[in-house]
Amino acid sequence: MRLDKFLCDALGVTRREATQILKSKTVTVNEVMVKSGATKVTDECVVEWQDRELKVHGPRYIMLYKPEGFVCSHEDGSNRTAFELLDEVKQDKLHFAGRLDVDTTGLVLITDDGQWSHRITSPKHKCAKTYRVWLVDPVEADYVEKFKQGIQLKSETGLTLPAELEVRAEREVLLTIYEGKYHQVKRMFAALGNKVEHLHREMIGEIEMDESLELGEYRYLTEEEVQSVWK
C-alpha cells in the first residue's frame, strides 16, 4: 500500500491532508523519516506519526470503564461524551453497543461493527447485562421472587422479562436483566417503591469488566471476548 493511502485510512484524512502531514516531517517508517506518499508500506512496517504508531484497523471492539458525568453519545449539550476518553481515529464510525446513563459507571462496549452490536442490543437475542446496584432502602424479602416473575413498569403494557437478583448486602444487589428498556434498572426498583443510589455495570453477555482498568481507561477486546457475542 502507498504510504499516503495508509495515512488516509489510519487517520481518516484526505489525500491532500496526508501529503501535508508527510511534508511536516513527522512520519516515520521503521524509524526513518519519510516524506514521499509513494513509499510502499507492508504489514511488517512500523509507521509512526508524532511518535504514535499508526494502524489500519479492521472492525474495532473496545471495552471502556465509564466514569460518572459522561454520556454515551457523540454529542450532548450539557455533559461530556464518553468518546472524549478514547484516543482513536475515525470516532464518527464508532457507536455504543448498549448505553449507560450519565450517572452510571462500568462496562461500556464500543464498536464499528453493526451486526455485532445488534447481537447485544436486540431484544430478541436476550443478551444478559449484570449490574451492581446500591439502594436507598433495604432489600425486601420478596424482591428475588418479584424480579424472577417480572416487574410491571410505569407506562409499560407488560411485565419485564424474568430477571435474576442476588442479594449481597442490606442495600446492595447484583441484578441480571435480559433486555434494555429505557432506564430499566432504576424503573424496576422504583416500581417496588425503592430508589437506586448508584448503578455499576459489571458484565455484558460473557464479557466482564476488566478490573485492571482505571475509571476512564479502555482496551481492545480479546478475540475470545469478541466471539463470545455470537454464541
Percent of the chain's residues with pLDDT above 90: 79
Q: Does position 62 have pLDDT exceeding 80, yes or no? A: yes
What's the distance, Cα to Cα, between the start and end of the chain in Å? 36
Verify that 186 and 218 share a domain, yes or no: no
Catalytic (active site) residue 4: no
Q: Which DSSP state fits 180?
A: -
Verify that 114 and 138 share a domain, yes or no: no
Q: What cell does 139 get?
A: 432489600
Four-residue CA torsion sign, 185, 191, 192, 195: positive
Verify that 133 and 185 share a domain, yes or no: yes
**Residue 148's domain is classified under what CATH number?**
3.30.70.1560
Verify that 108 and 219 share a domain, yes or no: yes
Verify that 217 and 110 share a domain, yes or no: yes
Task: Tell me how many domains the chain contains.
Answer: 3
**Residue 95's domain is classified under what CATH number?**
3.30.70.580
What is the C-alpha to C-alpha distance for residues 120 and 207, in angstroms, rounded to an integer? 11
Four-residue CA torsion sign, 201, 206, 212, 214: negative
Helix (H) or strand (E) holding 196: strand 196-204
Verify that 148 and 191 share a domain, yes or no: yes
Verify that 133 and 189 share a domain, yes or no: yes
Verify that 71 and 33 share a domain, yes or no: no
Percent of the chain's residues with pLDDT above 70: 100
**Residue 24's domain is classified under what CATH number?**
3.10.290.10
Verify that 19 and 72 share a domain, yes or no: no
Instruction: Compute how many other C-beta atoms are within 10 angstroms of the C-beta atom of residue 83.
Output: 20
Reported as a single tens digit per residue, the pLDDT across 30-58 is 999 999 999 999 878 899 998 888 887 77
Q: How confident is the model at residue 116 (pLDDT cuts 50, 70, 90)?
A: very high
Q: Are 199 and 133 in contact (CB under 8 A)?
A: yes
Length of the chain (residues): 231
What is the C-alpha to C-alpha distance for residues 6 and 13, in angstroms, rounded to an integer? 10
Reported as a single tens digit per residue, the pLDDT across 86-113 is 988 778 889 999 999 999 999 999 999 9
Catalytic-labelled residue, pool 9, 43, 51, 101? 101
Verify that 132 and 199 share a domain, yes or no: yes
Verify that 216 and 194 share a domain, yes or no: no
What is the C-alpha to C-alpha distance for residues 163 and 212, in angstroms, rounded to an integer? 28
Reported as a single tens digit per residue, the pLDDT across 156-188 is 989 999 999 999 999 999 999 999 999 999 999
Q: Give the structural domain span for 28.
A: 3-53
